[in-house]
Amino acid sequence: MSTSSGKTTNPGEMMKYLHDKITELEKQNRQLLDRQNDLYEKLEAREEELAAVQNLTPASSINNNNMPKFPKPESYDGYKGDVRNFLTQAQAYLRVNEKIYTTPESQILCIGNLLTGKAMEWWEPTLRAHLKHGAEAGVEVVHIFSDYETFEERLLAAFGKKREKRGRKRILTGRNEMALRTRPMGEEYYVTNQGYLKQLAGVMGRQHADKNGARRDRRSREGIRWDQTEI
């Protein structure tokens, strides 16, 4: 049954409506992934073409003929390693391949493709909005893809501070462990003997209390016998 607003109240129709929506969203997601893969393939092809041209061109005509060949940085998942190290390696890679990745968009797509795990979960909504809407994706998305440094700043803001806090915590923990390891032997001896003396004092106190209790019991019994004798 449909209401005046066009929405259905029938459970069966509602389930069908939701199923159709899910199917439509899955289709859109596959299209976005296909487009993303196409872009990466084009970038890889462009990189191979330029490498072939550089091999055919005399070394004297290449400005960066003395630059070393850098592999792509290892992927970053938001946990292992340091995000600053990852971004520094990314800058070195882009510098060596500056003739390939000539625009902020191509640079961000290249380095963004190295994000995995938690980092990719953070990055995926922005990437999806850019691939789907481009210049109409919103002010923040457009701003990020127009400037590689902005992309770096966002990544540092998301993962840099957490890593620094963990690092400070590890340093403090390490200092505490070092203090325990380097504590003088005399201090350990003092602490150990203090514990022993406390235990010994407790035992002696209990023994003393037991003796006093026995004396009171004996005096009490003697008093009773004396009273009975007088009677």
pLDDT tens sequence across 151-172: 999 999 999 865 455 555 555 5
Residue scoring higher pLDDT (166 or 127): 127
List the alpha helices (DSSP H) in 70-116: 83-96, 104-112
- If one counts every other C-beta atom within 10 angstroms of the C-beta of residue 126, the result is 19
Written as six digits, the tokens of 224 are 């009773």
| Distance (Å, whole) CA 86 – CA 73 | 7
Taking alpha carbons only, the member of 2, 31, 154, 144 closest to residue 23 is 31
Q: Collect all residues with Cβ–Cβ distance below 8 Å to 114 and sequence separation of at least 6.
A: 72, 73, 74, 75, 76, 86, 90
Mean of pLDDT values over 179-193? 45
Give me the pLDDT at residue 10, please.
83
Residue scoring higher pLDDT (202 or 31): 31
Percent of the chain whose predicted confidence (pLDDT) is above 70: 58
The DSSP output letter for 64 is T
DSSP 3-state of 192: helix
Give me the pLDDT at residue 60, please.
44
Residue scoring higher pLDDT (139 or 191): 139
Give me the pLDDT at residue 180, please.
43
Whole-prediction pTM: 0.46
pLDDT confidence bin for 51, thresholds 50/70/90? confident
pLDDT confidence bin for 112, thresholds 50/70/90? very high
Residue scoring higher pLDDT (208 or 130): 130
Written as six digits, the tokens of 174 are 């390490």
By the 8 A CB rule, do 73 and 80 touch?
Answer: no
- If one counts every other C-beta atom within 10 angstroms of the C-beta of residue 152, the result is 20
